[in-house]
Amino acid sequence: MRTITLTYIAFVAGVLMLAVSGCNKLVDLKPINEISDADYWKTAEQYKLAANEFYNYLITFANVLYDPAPGQPPSPHADIRSDLTPSRSPFSNGTNTLVATDANWDNAYTRLRAINYLLAKDSADMDNPARADRLLYVAEAKFFRAYVYFDLLQQFGGVPIVTRPLSTSSAELQAPRNSRDEVVDLIIKDLEEAITVLPLESAISAANKGRISKGAAQAFLGRVALYEGTWQKFRNGNANRYNALLDKSISASNAVITSNEYQLFAPAVLGDSAQKYMFILEDEKSNPAGLNKSSNKEYILANRYSYTLRQIRNNVTHTLIGGGVTKKLADMYLCQDGLPINKSPLFQGYATTRSEFMNRDNRMRYTMMIDSNYYWDNENPGARTNWTSDAADVASSRGRHNAATGTGYQSQKWATERRLNDNEEGYDWPVIRLAEVYLNYAEAVYERNGNIGDADLDRSLNLVRNRVNKSMPKLNNALVNTNALDMRTEIRRERTIELFLEGFRIDDLKRWKTAEVEMPMDVLGIKWTGTRWQTRWVVNGSSPFPVNADGNLIFESSRKWAEKNYLLPIPTQQRALNPNLDQNPDW
């Protein structure tokens, strides 16, 4: 394998190894380590090597499944900060405080320094006849600048915009924060410029697979424009502004959809379990059909790993198998007639430890664990032998699942079933996948128009909904109207279920401005009173946790969410260095 390939991203970190100088991360006086500037920036290949470093910035397992991961900064997009997992966190119960420093702020500006340095080198050499050969990597740099600024926007709102390498005397070091609009406009400008240059996925050679494609930039533009469009809409922003953003989201997502460059992972040989095994695909046998990563055309942009070349090095399986889930998520899954549990005659209630899983959306049983079912993990014994569920396979399992722990609801997403040692998982992280694009499109259409036609639902959301629910009725206007449903609620339901544990939930609640309602709710577990659990799961003669008026376990109460929690505070050290940085409201 050539060292420049991104098939499993072998980064040349030395090219842009940034030294830390001082506390203000907007300036860094040593952009290149050991390689003389006079000897570099001559060829497209050198730009490519420099751009390789930016792929380290992509979100991955440590940023979403932990908060924080060992040795990592806090994880602002972690699902354990949301209302769907029972992890007690200052960020989930509204008790986080003003901080002096924030590693995410620091890291972002260190990264922007590296990106801006490459762009500055290109701008200083505009007349070079060979410049056309490096424009691809300039486009990648613009994508990553947009990517880093969007991350800052989600955390802090408006932030200082820096588009060139700074010195200690640069005026930007004492400049006030730019507005949200200015940050978003820069993100969109960078992405649109990148889109004109980046290649289609099908045009990327095998040696360069994993690099940013046109589809990735379009999909990311769709995500950004939807995020900001809804953020503004639900805060009574300027209608012309948020509608223009929603139009841009629709257009960008539609471009990905109509390109036919990607497809949902739904091989018939895996049936309803296709979605489960997509997340744990490896090039070693990791599923009943023996499919490997080459069969997955759903990931538009992935942080790529390999058992042999780049292991994840987080104990993903043991962290996630049996990880907690709240009753709120469990109750969100529809019944097979396409109706919520409070409206469907198919819902079997809570009387037994397994009854509520019957007749439900198949994503429920492949995302969550069912009491008394057999499950496998990476242990020996405990890993699968042949994926047939025969006597030998069952004998090698971790045994029947005992759900009498935590909330009584547990997850199995991201947990491998193949034998390997802890920390050696090699499946990819989906930075952007096609299912999200379909859901972005449907939501943007609805929010832009106040309605969505059945044809648009069929070309987007329903493809995701029916991937592993072939007999479930499609979401359409007749179903909504006949059953007194709410289309916005159903669109958000599909998004929440499909993208669970992928780093979207807390940011979705923030942009919808519903965190103030959802986050203070008690974290509930299984229904205990009047069910099999009341005799099955008893601690000192009583329930393992307090029980509410409906008989449900209360895992955590007294949570809160203030208006200030929609944004993180600007670190006080940064404001001391630059007194012109105003603080976010109420911090």
3-state secondary structure 272-310: HHHHHHHCCCCCCCCCCCCCCHHHCCCEEEEECCECCCE
Q: How far is residue 7's CA from residue 11's CA, in Å, rounded to a whole number?
A: 11
Two structure tokens written together for 91: 């960020």
Predicted TM-score (pTM) of this structure: 0.95
Length of the chain measured in residues: 587
Coil, helix or strand at residue 452: coil
Domains 13-82+101-201 and 213-263+298-304+428-515 are alike in CATH topology? yes
Candidates 196, 187, 261; CA nearest to 226 is 187
Coil, helix or strand at residue 374: strand
The chain-wide mean pLDDT, for the chain, equals 94
CATH number at 213-263+298-304+428-515? 1.25.40.900
Over range 500-516, report the average pLDDT: 98
Over range 265-272, report the average pLDDT: 97
pLDDT above 90 covers what percent of the chain?
91
Q: Which fold has domain 13-82+101-201?
A: 1.25.40
List all residues 6 or more positions away from 517 whose beta carbon is below 8 Å from its beta carbon. Answer: none
Q: How far is residue 527's CA from residue 362's CA, in Å, rounded to a whole number?
A: 21
Coil, helix or strand at residue 457: helix
Choose the weakest-confidence range: 19-23, 61-65, 464-468, 548-552. Answer: 19-23
Contact indicator for 32, 40 with CB cutoff of 8 Å: yes
Does residue 166 carry a pLDDT above 80? yes
Choose the weakest-confidence range: 3-17, 193-207, 504-518. Answer: 3-17
Domain coordinates in residue numbering, the chain:
13-82+101-201, 213-263+298-304+428-515
| Residue 255 pLDDT level (bands cut at 50, 70, 90) | very high
| Residue 27 pLDDT level (bands cut at 50, 70, 90) | low
Radius of gyration of the chain (CA): 24
What pLDDT is attached to residue 39? 76
For residues 432 and 2, which has the higher predicted lDDT (pLDDT)? 432
CA geometry: angle at 483 spanning 477 and 485, to 5°?
65
Over range 357-374, report the average pLDDT: 98
What pLDDT is attached to residue 5? 36
Contact indicator for 479, 338 with CB cutoff of 8 Å: yes
Q: Cβ atoms within 10 A of the Cβ of 126, count?
A: 7
Beta strands in 325-445 (DSSP E): 410-411, 429-433
Contact indicator for 84, 328 with CB cutoff of 8 Å: yes
Cα 121 off chain centre by: 32
Does residue 494 carry a pLDDT above 70? yes
Q: How many CA atoms lie within 13 A of 512 on its CB side?
A: 21
What pLDDT is attached to residue 130? 87
- At 295-349, the pLDDT tens digits run 999 999 999 999 999 999 999 999 999 999 999 999 999 999 999 999 999 999 9
| Sole residue written with tokens 């993208």 | 499
- At 101-119, the pLDDT tens digits run 999 999 999 999 999 999 9
Contact indicator for 190, 169 with CB cutoff of 8 Å: no
List all residues 6 or more positions away from 461 whose beta carbon is below 8 Å from its beta carbon. Answer: 438, 439, 442, 475, 491, 494
What pLDDT is attached to residue 36? 74
List all residues 6 or more positions away from 180 whose beta carbon is below 8 Å from its beta carbon. Answer: 153, 157, 158, 228, 231
Choose the weakest-confidence range: 31-40, 181-190, 460-469, 481-490. Answer: 31-40
Candidates 359, 427, 417, 358; CA nearest to 388 is 417
Burial class (CB in 10 A: 0-12, 13-18, 19+), 26: buried
| Sole residue written with tokens 């979401």 | 475
Each residue of 202-215: b (16+ CB within 10 Å) or e? eebeeebbbbbbbb
What pLDDT is attached to residue 71? 85
Q: Cβ atoms within 10 A of the Cβ of 361, count?
A: 21
Instruction: Classify residue 6 as left (phi > 0), alpha (psi -120 to 50) or beta.
Output: alpha
Does residue 24 carry a pLDDT above 90? no
Over range 143-154, report the average pLDDT: 98
Q: How far is residue 308's CA from residue 15's CA, in Å, rounded to a whole number?
A: 24
Does residue 19 carry a pLDDT above 50? no
Check residue 522 and report its DSSP letter.
-
